[in-house]
């Protein structure tokens, strides 16, 4: 399906004009934007496909996503007009790296492989949409939309941010960071933040690591900051069970700082929020890490949460400790969501989350052994001091018999009192 020609004719495309002035970094390792395997996607198609807006070539042209195209083109017009830089400058600069940008996608249909101009148009269109939408929060930067704009006003942002960001962080719905960093550099938006990386960082939801990186990898790297394979059979205790053993939960800022302090029985955990788009977001993050991650930190972290939350009772324990924030409406929904996440986890025993689980299991096992030993000692002491001496045994039995008689007499007196009143 062709993009609207009107927008590009308005901008008067002319690839022969314009004098490029931006020197782009080209040596960073490529991070391919891949497609989710069909076998994985079939379990929950909606979790991996955009519901409102297509970003990049994989889902462009799908009928249910087309209503957002008019807003994407409007964002492009605003971006270019505000920058004062002709559209051909953006086209010319990105044409220099068209092969690098195409190489960021693992699978491209023939129409995108053959048509460089159309591919770059799509990169600019989608890159501008992301920048404009995320930029409406900064009123001193983007404030040229109508106050009642359905997408780019403050009200429009509040109404659409949750749904759109949900689509922005899907594995298959990405543009490389090189696109947005180039657009921002040419537009001269460095005056609004310290540098191009700063503004691109806020646009792409996280810190910057490389121009070929898709938004999703940047988003995940932020999650990791702010937060050998084996069977999880060794994971035995849930949150409520750990609480029974005296383990307390302390809220920290990131899952990279998870730690169990055995001396005072405190587990440091970041808070985790469950909302409407959590399932789709986390499924994509898990799939992405399995494909390109050097370790499986996020998979192992979710394994820790799954192990801790086995029932509604566990949800309530973690909520009381400010570890779990639930906006789903019911605690049962959290348990159900974690069960769905559990199906595709790959656990890395080298990760801190799994190490912590082992430490807590060992702590509980030792506590159980100590309690059994105390019980045996108490039982042994009872036998030694009371039941070996027959007179002591008779005394204990007589005392128990008298206690039972006293209770019976009390009950009889109470019943007689109420019978006389009636």
User: Over the stretch 66-76, which tens digit does the pLDDT of each residue have?
Assistant: 999 999 999 99
pLDDT in tens, 327-351: 998 999 999 999 888 876 777 777 8
Please state, as a whole number, how many other Cβ atoms lie within 10 Å of the Cβ of residue 133: 24
**How far, in Å, CA of 300 to CA of 306, rounded?**
10
22 vs 185, which has greater pLDDT? Answer: 185
280, 163 contact by CB (below 8 A): no
What band does 133 get if pLDDT is binned at 50, 70 and 90? confident
What band does 38 get if pLDDT is binned at 50, 70 and 90? confident
pLDDT attached to residue 332 = 94
Lowest mean pLDDT among 102-111, 214-223, 302-311, 403-412: 214-223
Inform me whether the pLDDT recorded for 397 exceeds 90: no
Inform me whether the pLDDT recorded for 408 exceeds 50: yes
331, 324 contact by CB (below 8 A): no
**Nearest Cα to Cα of residue 200 among 188, 187, 216, 184:** 184
208 — alpha (psi -120 to 50), left (phi > 0) or beta? beta
pLDDT attached to residue 418 = 52
**How far, in Å, CA of 346 to CA of 353, rounded?**
13
Give the mean model confidence (pLDDT) for residues 123-151.
83
87 exposed, middle or buried (CB, 10 Å; 0-12, 13-18, 19+)? buried
Inform me whether the pLDDT recorded for 28 exceeds 50: no
pLDDT attached to residue 211 = 46
What band does 195 get if pLDDT is binned at 50, 70 and 90? very low
Return the percentage of the chain with pLDDT > 90, whole number. Answer: 27
pLDDT attached to residue 36 = 87
pLDDT in tens, 354-374: 888 888 888 888 888 776 666
**Is the Cα torsion angle 315, 320, 326, 330 positive or negative in sign?**
positive
30, 190 contact by CB (below 8 A): no
**How far, in Å, CA of 47 to CA of 74, rounded?**
28
């Amino acid at each position: 399906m062709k993009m609207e020609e009107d927008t590009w004719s308005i901008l008067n495309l002319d690839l022969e004009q314009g004098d490029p002035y931006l020197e782009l970094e080209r040596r960073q390792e490529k991070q391919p934007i891949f497609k989710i395997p069909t076998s994985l996607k079939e379990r929950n198609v909606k979790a991996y496909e955009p519901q409102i807006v297509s970003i990049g070539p994989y889902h462009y042209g799908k009928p249910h996503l087309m209503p957002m195209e008019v807003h994407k083109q409007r964002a492009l017009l605003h971006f270019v007009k505000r920058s004062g830089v002709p559209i051909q400058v953006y086209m010319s600069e990105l044409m220099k790296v068209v092969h690098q940008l195409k190489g960021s996608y693992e699978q491209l249909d023939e129409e995108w492989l053959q048509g460089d101009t159309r591919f770059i148009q799509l990169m600019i269109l989608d890159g501008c949409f992301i920048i404009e939408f995320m930029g409406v929060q900064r009123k001193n930067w983007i404030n040229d939309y109508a106050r009642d704009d359905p997408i780019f006003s403050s009200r429009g942002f509040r109404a659409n941010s949750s749904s759109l960001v949900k689509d922005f962080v899907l594995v298959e719905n990405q543009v490389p960071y090189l696109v947005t960093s180039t657009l921002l550099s040419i537009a001269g938006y460095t005056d609004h933040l310290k540098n191009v990386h700063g503004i691109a960082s806020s646009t792409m939801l996280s810190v910057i690591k490389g121009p070929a990186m898709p938004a999703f990898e940047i988003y995940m790297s932020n999650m990791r900051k702010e937060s050998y394979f084996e069977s999880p059979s060794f994971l035995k205790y849930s949150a409520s069970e750990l609480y029974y053993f005296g383990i307390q939960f302390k809220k920290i800022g990131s899952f990279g700082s998870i730690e169990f302090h055995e001396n005072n029985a405190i587990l440091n955990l970041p808070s985790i929020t469950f909302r409407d788009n959590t399932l789709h977001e986390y499924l994509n993050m898990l799939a992405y890490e399995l494909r390109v991650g050097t370790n499986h930190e996020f998979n192992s972290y979710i394994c820790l949460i799954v192990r801790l939350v086995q029932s509604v009772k566990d949800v309530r324990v973690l909520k009381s400790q400010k570890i779990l924030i639930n906006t789903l409406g019911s605690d049962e929904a959290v348990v159900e969501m974690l069960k769905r996440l559990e199906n595709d986890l790959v656990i890395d025993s080298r990760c801190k989350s799994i190490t912590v689980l082992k430490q807590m299991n060992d702590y509980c096992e030792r506590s159980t052994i100590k309690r059994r030993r105390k019980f045996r000692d108490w039982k042994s002491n009872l036998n030694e001091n009371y039941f070996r001496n027959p007179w002591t045994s008779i005394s204990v039995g007589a005392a128990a018999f008298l206690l039972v008689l006293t209770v019976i007499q009390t009950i009889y007196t109470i019943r007689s009192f109420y019978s006389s009143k009636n």
